[in-house]
Amino acid sequence: MSPAIDAKECMRVARRAAAAATEVLAEFCMQSGRVPSSSKGVRRELVTKADSAAEHAAVACLMEAFPGHAILAEEGALTPRGEASKESDSLWIIDPLDGTTNFVHELPFYCVAIGLQHKGEMLVGVVTAPALGKTFTAIKGGGAFCNDEPIRVSETAEVADSMLCTGFSYVRNDPGKDDNVARMHRALMSCRDLRRFGSAQLDLCMTAAGHYDGYWELDLMPYDVAAGSLIVGEAGGTISDLSGAEDWLYGGQILASNGLLHRPLLELVGNQVEPQ
């Protein structure tokens, strides 16, 4: 039997790890000019030395506190990218810099995201957006917070009154790829307005805080959504994949909403809708 886990202690360490990562990002921000970047293989998908350095800082903090826990981190600080470092009931899922393209272009919509999955369920989520001065947090069953103040999803009940958000894949030109344009068009013609932040974790947090009424995206990885999804759920929202099922963490696609709009949004942008 695995030992019991202290969620509050995990939260304290997660916040410490996120702070260590944001300190690294701040050092890169103090450099003059844009932070140099390179491609991960797809021209649009950028990576910087800041991504790797921030990840190493966060992982070092987590491993010092919880050496028996596993790590799944975007830039592969311990293992090849996208692979867990070991088998464990407790898995830290880390995006050291979500919104790298924004970071490179000196736009403030980027963040450090750290989530803890324990025995298959998200237990802790921290999303820190240093340029916005916001830290979003949640512990399973304990509510959601921004800068330690409680947050809740919106009460918008009609799609026509909604502010929605989405994103677009780096590989949207691949043959046969769903580029999300038809879904976006349907939503844009039906909602109050539509935004595209460029950071899936912040899109989730903005939905949790009630700024957005719903958000969807395709071609995502676990580290793009793990922490933010828990924050949405603890803020009273609903999370699913685009079929309305539960395969959103590892299934590559997500729909987050205030709950009231979840079914209408599935009908609008879900997988069952025929492309235009």
Q: What is the CATH number of the domain that holds 204?
A: 3.40.190.80
Quick check: is 245 in a domain? yes
Task: Provide the pairing of β-strand 149-150 with 37-39.
Answer: unpaired
Cβ(51)–Cβ(45) under 8 Å? no
Query: Do residues 118 and 193 share a domain?
Result: no
Quick check: is 128 in a domain? yes
Average pLDDT, the chain: 89
* Residue where a domain terminates, one of 150, 168, 196: 150
pLDDT of residue 211 exceeding 50, the answer is yes
Beta partners for 164? 194, 214
The pTM for the full model equals: 0.91
pLDDT at 86: 80
Residue ranges making up the domain that contains 163:
159-269
3-state secondary structure of 143: coil
Which band of pLDDT confidence, cut at 50, 70 and 90, is reported for residue 4?
confident
Encode pLDDT of 170-198 as tens digits: 655 666 677 899 999 999 999 999 999 99
pLDDT at 1: 43
Quick check: is 274 in a domain? no
Which band of pLDDT confidence, cut at 50, 70 and 90, is reported for residue 2?
low
